[in-house]
Structure 1
Amino acid sequence: MTPEEILPDDLMERIRGRAAGYDQDNSFFHEDLAELAAAGYLKVFVPVPDGGLGLGLEAAAALQRRLATAAPATALAVNMHLVWTGVAHVLAARGDDSLGFVLKEAGQGEVFAFGISEAGNDSMLFDSGTTATPEGDGSYSFTGRKIFTSLSLGWTRLGIFGKDAAARNGDGELVFGFIGRETPGHETLTDWNTLGMRASQSNTTLLQGAVVPPERIFRKLPVGPNQDPLVFAIFACFETLLAAVYTGIGERAFTLALEAAKHRTSAKYGGRSYAQDPDIRWKIAEAAMAMDGIQPQLASVARDVDALVDHGPQWFPKLVGLKVRATENARAVVDIAVRVSGGSSYFRGSELERLYRDVLAGIFHPSNEESAHSTVANAWLGPLEM
């Protein structure tokens, strides 16, 4: 199935038509989520026998690009569900069925969200400020504060992790599991009032002794960097799908820039359109070349994940490099589009004004620019000598 078949034009227009209202009201995209679920969009990675579309990461990235052209905040939040289902898919393709229940439950309509990020935790997946306390029966209780919980008002399953500091002879152990919406001991704050990506409602989640039963504990890893397939699968899906969303933002901004160049007229050029202005033409060409560069990179990285290509130690530089390039590229293209479109794009309610705010969120997602450069430098030069 093509992206246009899964996300037909009429659905895209309805989603696009609601985006400005969600942004203005700082409200969650309930209607979008319901329509996407009804269209089977949340089952992209779910195998066909389980009621899904049975697609891979390359296809999911193409879909997220398309969705983001209509509603970036909706696409960003849906990413979190697709990350977990994508991780389950990537692991299964490599012979690891530890998250097989995620795909089965997604096929039954459950919605997954990502409760991983913590303020000040630069180690990301390799350490945690959340405590994971063993309860003696194989279950763990989690206490901590998770930030940027996209889909906070729509999830039915939340993937979390924390640290059992006493485990492994005091070296600590990172424990991963899922809670349900009905699980006691968690609270969603209403603290999402941001510059952009407002409909994602990425509110803070407080874990206050939320218990994950043994059958929902799916990984225990040592503190610090490691080569577990789960780490690769999370990075591969998270970074690639983020890159897809921001590439979609760039594509939409480029479309709006083209429309503006063709429809704005210039007194200087005798009432002809700005499409005849050499400076505007240069800017359009600059944006076109930027988009031409990122689209094949995104497709190539996603395709290699699907094809089980072994890039060895170069995998993480490829993934973080894609994310940084895609987000920075999108910022540059949106900026060009605003310049081409003129002062009308500066007014509140303009689609470009919203894209300008939404695209800024790209600098905050992991891996950030500093972390990405460190990862790439280490891959090529070895670790920094202390």
Structure 2
Amino acid sequence: MAGVWKSLIKNARHEKLYEKALRISEEAQKHIVKTDRSASFSYETLKVIKEEKYPSFSLPSEEGGENLSLYEFLLMQEKIAEGDGAVALSIGWHMGVMMELSQDNLWEKVAYDHLVEEVVREQKVVNRAATEPATGSPTRGGVPETKAVKRGNRYIVNGRKSFTSMAEHLDYYIVSAYVEDKDTVGWFLIDRHQPGVSVDKTWDTLGMRGTASDDLVLKDVELREEDLVEVKSEGKPLPKGWLLHIPACYLGIAVAARNDAIAFAKDFQPNSLDTPISEVAHIQDKIGEMEWKLMQAHAFLYSVAEKWDENPDQRKGMGADLAAVKLAVTNTANEVVDLAMRIAGGRGLSKKYPFEKYYRDVRAGLHNPPMDDAVVTMLAKQAISDDE
């Protein structure tokens, strides 16, 4: 899709970042059959991610990162997702967490500096582990069943976290827990090698199997007081621009499906036709529909990202913009992949072709936060409030 990338890449820095994302994307694609079949994350892909020093890119340049803007972050994430959406979504969580920690000053300096040093020096990867079977998505406000109990100057943590992307490959987990002595929810930074930490291979889903989002199990994990790096703050949380890595990921999947559908249409010629099916009117209609849907999705996603980058003073009021982008782009991505499946016809259901995987993977975007119903309710309440 040279036309879209040509319009998105605006300078030499963008070209450099694109090339790095392309290398990760191409490596991820090499392992896509194995990781999808075994619900695993590729060690080889993670090695390339670290060789490109991508884990440190979202940190400020003065701390050893590349000071990625939101626009640049999404550009790279979308390109990686063209190779494998599961890889993009997985590493996107780490990238977003580091962007959030660097910009929002959520931690004490000592704890933050320690993590940054390891990310920059060794390209270590981290993710928040917040979801639990009983509470569902943490965005719905459930209190974690994972508990931290104070014993002397130590915390003992017990619990189980689901949907922990790249669970076996993470170097650190940022784990939410109910902190008994503080009567609030807090987050602990836990080293993967800490005694009592294990991964239960539970990930067996329809789509995004390559995220290897297995369960993180914590059994009598003994932590220092300073490992409690964050506590829940009162008041309305600030909008998180980095969460746009979610729609960027699913848009990348849709672009990959579009590319393969066009290649298929140009190559496939049944014996009932004198030309490839790309010359058939209803196939061209579907290709044209994919194009205008993708044009709209790209325009919406990247215009909001530019607004975020260029107007820091407006970010507090951008919650609705960010949520609307997620709803619009992930739903559009599903529509584009569906059109690609229709172009491929029955062959699209065969594992000899990539379409059925795009179809399975892209649906996962509908279940990443924020959920469609929550976004629609937010927009409705805002519209009613603005009109009073």
Residue type at the aligned position of 2:241: A
Distance 1:366 1:139, change over 3 A: farther
Contact 1:314 1:379 in 2 (8 A): no
Residue by residue, what CA displacement relative to the aligned partner does 1:119-174 show, whole Å, maximum 9, x if unpaired? 2435725442234435266654332221100011100110111223564xxxx412
Q: Where do 4+ consecutive residues of structure 1 move more than 6 Å?
A: none
**Alignment match, 2:186:** 175
Does structure 1 residue 5 correspond to structure 2 residue 19?
A: yes
Secondary structure class of the residue paired with 1:7: helix
By how many angstroms is 1:352 displaced? 1.0
Are 1:339 and 2:342 an aligned pair? yes
Structure 2: gaps of 5 or more residues: 1-12
Structure 1: state its 5+ residue gaps: none
Contact 1:164–1:173 (CA under 8 A) maintained in structure 2: yes
Residues 1:60 and 2:64 aligned together: no
In 2: Cα distance, 1:71 partner to 1:191 partner: 21
Which moves more between the two structures, 203-212 or 317-326?
Answer: 203-212
Q: Distance in 1 between matches of 2:37 and 2:164?
A: 20
2: CA distance between counterparts of 1:69 and 1:300?
21
Pair 1:106-2:111 in alignment: no
Q: Say what the alpha-carbon RMSD is for the aligned residues.
A: 2.7
The superposition leaves residues 291-313 of structure 1 with CA deviations (integer Å, 9 ceiling, x where unpaired) of: 11111222223333333534466
**Cα offset for 1:330?**
1.0
In the alignment, the residues of structure 2 paired with residue 378 and residue 142 of structure 1 have an alpha-carbon distance, to the nearest angstrom, of 39
SS at 1:129 equivalent = coil
Aligned residues: 369
2:361 is aligned with what amino acid?
D
Deviation per CA, 1:20-72: give whole Å up to 9, x if none.
22212333211101111111111211233443322222211110100000011
2:246 aligned residue (242, 245, 261)? 242
CA contact 2:86–2:209 (8 Å) conserved in 1: yes
Q: Does the Cα contact within 8 Å between 2:308 and 2:314 map onto a contact in 1?
A: no
Correspondence list, 1:233-272, <5 A: 235-237=240-242, 239-265=243-269, 270-272=273-275
Cα distance in 1 between the residues matched to 2:137 and 2:208:
24
TM-score (normalizing by structure 2): 0.86
Contact 1:115 1:149 in 2 (8 A): yes
1:287 equivalent in alignment to 2:293 = no
In structure 1, what is the equivalent of residue 171 of structure 2? 156
Task: Verify: 1:90 aligned to 2:99, yes or no.
Answer: no
- Kept in 2, the 8 Å contact 1:174–1:222? The answer is no
Which piece of structure 1 moves more, 96-105 or 254-263? 96-105
State the partner residue of 2:323: 320
Please identify, of 270-279 and 32-41, the stretch whose mean Cα deviation from structure 2 is larger: 270-279
Query: Hey, what does 1:26 align to over in structure 2?
Result: 39
1:112–1:156 CA contact under 8 A, matched in 2: yes
1:141 counterpart (156, 162, 167): 156
Distance, in Å, in 1 between the alignment partners of 2:153 and 2:288 is 59
| Equivalent residues of 1:20, 1:349 under 8 A apart | no
Q: Give me the whole-angstrom Cα distance separating, in 1, the residues matched to 2:257 and 2:66.
A: 29
Q: Does 1:227 align with 2:236?
A: yes
How high is the TM-score relative to the length of structure 1?
A: 0.86
User: Whole-Å Cα distance in 1 between the matches of residues 77 and 53 of structure 2?
Assistant: 14
What is the alpha-carbon distance in structure 2 between the residues aligned to residue 337 and residue 358 of structure 1?
Answer: 14
CA distance in 1 between counterparts of 2:216 and 2:170 reads 12
Report the alpha carbon displacement of residue 265 of structure 1 after superposing the two structures with TM: 2.4
Match of 1:217 among 228, 233, 249: 228
Judge conservation of contact 1:22–1:199 (CA < 8 Å) in 2. Answer: yes
Compare 38-47 and 239-248 and name the one that shifted more: 38-47
Richer in helix (by share): 2
Q: Distance in 1 between matches of 2:152 and 2:309?
A: 37
- Please report how far the alpha carbon of residue 333 of structure 1 lies from its aligned counterpart in structure 2 after TM superposition: 0.5
| 2:56–2:120 CA contact under 8 A, matched in 1 | yes
Aligned partners of 1:114 and 1:150 also within 8 Å:
no
Residue 236 of structure 1 aligns with an amino acid whose one-letter code is G
- Alignment correspondent of 1:77: 90
Secondary structure at the residue paired with 1:53?
coil
2:382 paired residue among 366, 374, 379: 379
Q: CA deviation at 1:251?
A: 0.8
| Distance of 2:254 and 2:50 partners within structure 1 | 25
